[in-house]
Structure 1
Amino acid sequence: MVKRSKGFRSKTRFKLKKSIRPVRANNITKRIQIFNEDDLVHIIIDPSIQKGQPHPRFHGQTGRVANRRGRAYIVQINDGNKAKKLIIRPEHLKMQE
């Protein structure tokens, strides 16, 4: 029998898929966006950038920016009834309107 791979991005074939021809692959404005503490942000993973990417389980969730750590942000989310802190780069975050 072949042993199945259980990597970080396993079971994400459709979740981490980009459109066929996006307008711009890695937009610079996504890298330099600035969030303040207590801002609500959506976690939208950009699959073309692996650095600072959260676990795919948190894709599509909304959290609150707790702090900044280097270029990344610490985002607090509730996973069930437990509060979790994720370290995410701004390329994978989107401000909630």
Structure 2
Amino acid sequence: MVKRSKGSRSKTRFKLRKTIRPGRTNPITKKIQTFDESDMVHIIIDPSIHKGQPHPRFHGKTGKVGERRGNAYIVEINDGNKPKKLIIRPEHLKMQE
């Protein structure tokens, strides 16, 4: 029997797919954007940047920025009823309007 791989990016064929758009795929403004504490942000994973990427189960969730840690941010979300803290780089975050 063949064993199926169970990596962190398994079952994400459609979730971690980039749409085809003209222009620059990884603008520098995504990397240098800053957030303040208690800002609400959306977790939108950029699949072309692997560093600082959260687990795909958190793609599309909205959380609150707790603090800054190095180049990344601590984002607090509720996963069901359980509060969780995620360390995410700013390329994978989007400010909530």
Superposition TM-score tier, normalisation by shorter sequence: over 0.9
Following superposition of structure 1 onto structure 2, how do residues 1-97 of structure 1 map, counting pairs within 5 Å?
1-97=1-97
CA distance in 1, matches of 2:17, 2:30: 18
| 1:46-90 deviation per Cα after TM superposition (whole angstroms, max 9, x unaligned) | 000000000000000000000000000000000000000000000
Q: Give 3-state SS (helix, strand or coil) of 1:91's partner.
A: helix
- CA offset at residue 22 of structure 1? 4.5
TM-score, normalised to structure 2, is 0.97
4+ runs of 1 displaced by more than 3 Å?
Answer: none
Report the RMSD for the aligned CA atoms in angstroms: 0.8
TM-score, normalised to structure 1, is 0.97
Q: Structure 1 counterpart of 2:55, which letter?
A: H
Aligned length: 97
Task: Name which of structure 1's ranges 31-40 and 19-28 shifts more when overlaid on structure 2.
Answer: 19-28
CA distance in 2, matches of 1:77, 1:42: 10
* Percent of residue pairs identical: 80
- CA offset at residue 21 of structure 1? 3.8
